């Protein structure tokens, strides 16, 4: 109420004393001048409407207040009802046209009935504006968080980020939040996975059945998977999202308080985006696993030709990965070198068995044949256009080059040798020395350290040798965790 006449305040409060709108009573705050109204509005932006008198400390104080609210305060939501007892000072036709008000009333014609009707209409209009504004704000947040989620390429990180963003987006308290996924394979067997969870019953297990999530929650999630439709109650929301012909996801939200403010439409948009991103991540994850397994299989097949029954290719892949991390190389490169490393000796498929399996030292002709495996491996891998294969081709081609230029096939030296090949060179020798092979026994750790230091600046990049010596136990633990297979 903005009016310099105390009696107007008293009458208005009397008329509206029993009003109950949207199940809420009214709080009426009085201001007796334009300046006082400005001070109140500066400190509180929660007013839904205002009755504003035109003539107060000046003949146009009310109009100036309206202009200040809209232009300076930039409050477009509050409903402004102009009331005047001197219409001549502010004719209705001009005021409606020139000022951003929502209604115009002459005090002499403003009955109690019209006042109540005006208040109801104004508050409902304010409610609708705020609903639209919240939806717009939510949509903006949705776009922002979806953009952030697209940057995450790991299941656990993705799931945790999705749940945290969802809580912020909905502005609702939740004591538990889960994302679960079902997938059917080509044999029509179903596998399920807990992608992420937060709040109570946080589970370390990735499997829904073996997780320590409350049994009632498990039952509800499984029921939604079976029914293929959403479930909403006073206690929880369980959303169903089909993402492909053979897979679907379920989002479980356990309400901590009254779900009155739960924004189902916002959750729908967000969850659909999450489910689609999740499906893409899953496909990438499956492809990466398949690619990794195939590369290990090929690498182990080459190893088997040399009558070895070890885990050399797995260890070398992990050693290369760890060494790349110690060098603080790009995370994508770290992942790629682990995938590419098992193919470092793929060119040996072209080497005759009598050379590959020979016990003892190779003669000069045999050695020349053996050295061709580097270029053969590169030629094979370069036929593929994938980035992993291109990296593997470099490793296969250059991993026998030496830091001092004495290696083969191109006699490269120093930093001219690709970093992936330099990493592979030391990883390959380190693991080979520590493994028993058909032509030698395994070396002890002290002898391996001494050999690496001896070949520093000769065969190996000195920086890599220094890292190996500093973190020797970490590299040695890889051999402990992935020991050679016992021979029959």
Q: Comparing 194 with 467, which gets the higher pLDDT?
A: 467
Q: What is the mean pLDDT of residues 114-137?
A: 84
Radius of gyration for the chain, computed over Cα atoms and rounded to the nearest angstrom:
37
Q: Considering the entire predicted model, what is its pTM? A: 0.51
| Domains 150-283 and 306-481 fall in the same CATH topology | no
**So which residues are the catalytic ones?**
348
Confidence tier at 18 by pLDDT (50, 70, 90): confident
- Structure confidence at residue 256 (pLDDT): 63
d(CA 199, CA 254): 9
Find the helix packing angle between 112-149 and 264-305, rounded to 10°. Answer: 10
SS3 category, 184: strand
d(CA 6, CA 8): 5
Indicate the CATH number for domain 150-283: 3.30.450.40
d(CA 348, CA 351): 5
- Sheet containing strand 49-53, edge to edge, reads 49-53, 79-84, 103-106
Q: Comparing 67 with 95, which gets the higher pLDDT?
A: 67
Where are the domains positioned within the chain?
6-131, 150-283, 306-481
d(CA 476, CA 482): 10
- Structure confidence at residue 2 (pLDDT): 95
Confidence tier at 262 by pLDDT (50, 70, 90): low
Long-range contacts of 397-404 (CB under 8 A, 24+ apart): 397/421, 398/374, 399/344, 399/374, 399/424, 399/425, 399/428, 400/371, 400/374, 400/425, 401/425, 402/458, 402/459, 402/460, 403/457, 403/458, 403/459, 403/460, 403/461, 403/462, 404/457, 404/458, 404/459
Q: What percent of the chain has pLDDT over 70?
A: 70
* CATH class for the region spanning 306-481: mainly alpha
Second CATH level (architecture) for the domain 6-131: 3-Layer(aba) Sandwich (3.40)
Confidence tier at 152 by pLDDT (50, 70, 90): very low
Q: Position of tokens 């050295």? A: 371
Which residues share a beta bridge with 84?
106
pLDDT, tens digit (0-9, with 9 covering 90-100), for 354-376: 888 887 788 999 999 999 999 99
């Amino acid at each position: 109420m903005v009016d310099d006449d105390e009696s107007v305040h008293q009458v208005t409060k009397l008329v509206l004393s029993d009003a109950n709108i949207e199940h809420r009573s009214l709080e009426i705050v009085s201001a007796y001048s334009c300046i006082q109204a400005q001070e109140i509005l500066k400190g509180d932006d929660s007013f839904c409407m205002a009755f504003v008198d035109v003539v107060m400390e000046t003949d146009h104080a009310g109009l100036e207040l309206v202009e200040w609210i809209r232009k300076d305060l930039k409050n477009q939501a509050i409903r402004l009802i102009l009331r005047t007892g001197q219409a001549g000072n502010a004719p209705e036709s001009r005021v409606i046209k020139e000022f951003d008000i929502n209604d115009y009333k002459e005090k002499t014609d403003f009955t109690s009935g019209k006042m109540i009707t005006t208040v109801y209409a104004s508050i409902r209009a304010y409610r609708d504006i705020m609903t639209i504004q919240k939806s717009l704000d939510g949509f903006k947040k949705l776009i922002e968080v979806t953009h952030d989620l697209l940057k995450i390429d790991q299941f656990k990180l993705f799931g945790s980020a999705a749940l945290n963003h969802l809580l912020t987006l909905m502005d609702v308290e939740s004591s538990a939040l889960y994302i679960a996924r079902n997938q059917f394979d080509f044999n029509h067997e179903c596998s399920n996975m807990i992608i992420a969870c937060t709040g109570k019953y946080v589970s370390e297990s990735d499997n829904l059945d073996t997780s320590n999530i409350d049994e009632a929650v498990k039952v509800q999630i499984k029921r939604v998977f079976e029914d293929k439709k959403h479930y909403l109650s006073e206690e929880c929301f369980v959303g169903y999202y089909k993402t492909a012909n053979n897979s679907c996801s379920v989002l479980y939200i356990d309400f901590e308080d009254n779900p009155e403010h739960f924004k189902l439409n916002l959750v729908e948009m967000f969850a659909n985006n999450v489910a689609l991103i999740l499906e893409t991540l899953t496909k990438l994850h499956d492809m990466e696993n398949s690619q990794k397994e195939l590369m290990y299989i090929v690498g182990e097949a080459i190893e088997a030709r040399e009558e070895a029954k070890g885990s050399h290719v797995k260890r070398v892949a992990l050693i290369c990965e760890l060494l790349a991390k110690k060098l603080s190389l790009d995370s994508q490169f770290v992942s790629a070198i682990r995938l590419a490393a098992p193919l470092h000796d793929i060119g040996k498929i072209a080497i005759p068995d009598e050379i590959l399996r020979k016990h003892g030292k190779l003669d000069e002709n045999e050695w020349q044949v053996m050295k061709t495996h580097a270029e053969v491996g590169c030629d094979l891998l370069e036929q593929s256009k994938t980035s992993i294969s291109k990296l593997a081709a470099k490793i296969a081609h250059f991993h026998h080059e030496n830091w001092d230029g004495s290696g083969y096939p191109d006699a490269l030296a120093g930093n001219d040798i690709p970093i992936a090949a330099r990493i592979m060179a030391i990883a390959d020798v380190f693991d080979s020395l520590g493994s028993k092979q058909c032509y030698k026994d395994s070396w002890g750790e002290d002898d391996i350290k001494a050999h690496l230091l001896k070949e520093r600046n000769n065969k190996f990049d000195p920086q890599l040798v220094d890292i190996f010596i500093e973190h020797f136990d970490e590299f040695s633990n890889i051999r402990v965790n992935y020991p050679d297979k016992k021979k029959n």
